[in-house]
């Protein structure tokens, strides 16, 4: 996909948000990752580029996940592993994990991205950073991918989608809205705060994935 290669080459050079640039470049390796060369740049989206009928939208890369490996929802963070277990159970991934860019994981029918492209301090991008990423990158992805279904993982992902599309709606876990032929599904983010407390169970996310699959014809 020529648009994708051009998009990634421009994205990884972005330095639009000074606070995010400073943080992503200053993250120190965890002891178990001491031998890794951290990516420390904006993290590219990835997926089944030839048949991406479902767009999965996260908040931002994890400091020791995508910011380390250079691939969204990839690394040692629990959010990535929860998502990929759900993708595997739904039949959208060939493996129930996503560890590194050379781990042999392949997904079908999905494009995995985030509203904010750099790891933010405390996983909290500010409003200016969200608007900058949506305007510079995320809106362009929506136009190019043209998904039939979108899954927002959490409130901030849903906010980014609303900003990009110019719609008004309230976040409701397990719910969806339709906009110009696209169905936007809502799920709590698979963060430890949600998964460890049972607020988001694996079967909940699998159910949402399967509803998106049915709508998108996957």
pLDDT band at 34 (very low <50, low <70, confident <90, very high): confident
Per residue in 8-22, pLDDT tens?
A: 999 999 999 999 999
What pLDDT does 68 receive? Answer: 96
Per residue in 94-111, pLDDT tens?
A: 999 999 999 999 999 999
**CA–CA separation, 181 vs 149, rounded Å?**
9
What pLDDT does 1 receive? Answer: 67
* Average pLDDT of the residues in 178-188: 97
CATH architecture under which domain 2-216 falls:
3-Layer(aba) Sandwich (3.40)
Average pLDDT of the chain to the nearest whole number: 96
What pLDDT does 77 receive? Answer: 87
Predicted confidence (pLDDT) at residue 180 exceeds the cutoff of 90: yes
Alpha-carbon dihedral sign for residues 198, 113, 186, 207: negative
Question: Domain residues of the chain, as ranges?
Answer: 2-216
Radius of gyration of the chain (CA): 16
Q: Lowest mean pLDDT of 15-29, 30-44, 113-127, 199-213, name the range.
A: 30-44
């Amino acid at each position: 996909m020529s648009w994708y290669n051009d998009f990634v080459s421009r994205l990884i050079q972005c330095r639009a948000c000074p606070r995010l640039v400073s943080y992503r470049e200053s993250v120190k390796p965890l002891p178990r990752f001491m031998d890794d060369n951290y990516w420390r740049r904006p993290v590219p989206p990835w997926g089944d580029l030839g048949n991406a009928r479902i767009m999965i939208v996260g908040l931002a890369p994890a400091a020791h996940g995508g910011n380390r490996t250079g691939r969204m929802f990839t690394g040692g963070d629990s959010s990535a592993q929860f998502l990929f277990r759900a993708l595997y159970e739904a039949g959208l991934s060939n493996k129930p994990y996503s560890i590194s860019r050379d781990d042999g994981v392949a997904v079908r029918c999905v494009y995995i991205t985030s509203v904010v492209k750099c790891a933010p301090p405390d996983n909290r991008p500010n409003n200016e950073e969200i608007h900058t990423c949506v305007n510079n990158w995320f809106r362009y992805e929506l136009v190019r991918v043209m998904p039939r279904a979108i899954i927002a993982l959490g409130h901030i992902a849903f906010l980014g989608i609303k900003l990009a599309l110019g719609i008004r709606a309230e976040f409701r876990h397990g719910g969806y809205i339709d906009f110009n032929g696209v169905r936007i599904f809502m799920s709590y983010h698979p963060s430890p705060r949600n998964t460890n407390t049972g607020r988001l169970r694996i079967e909940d996310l699998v159910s949402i994935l399967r509803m998106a699959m049915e709508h998108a014809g996957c």
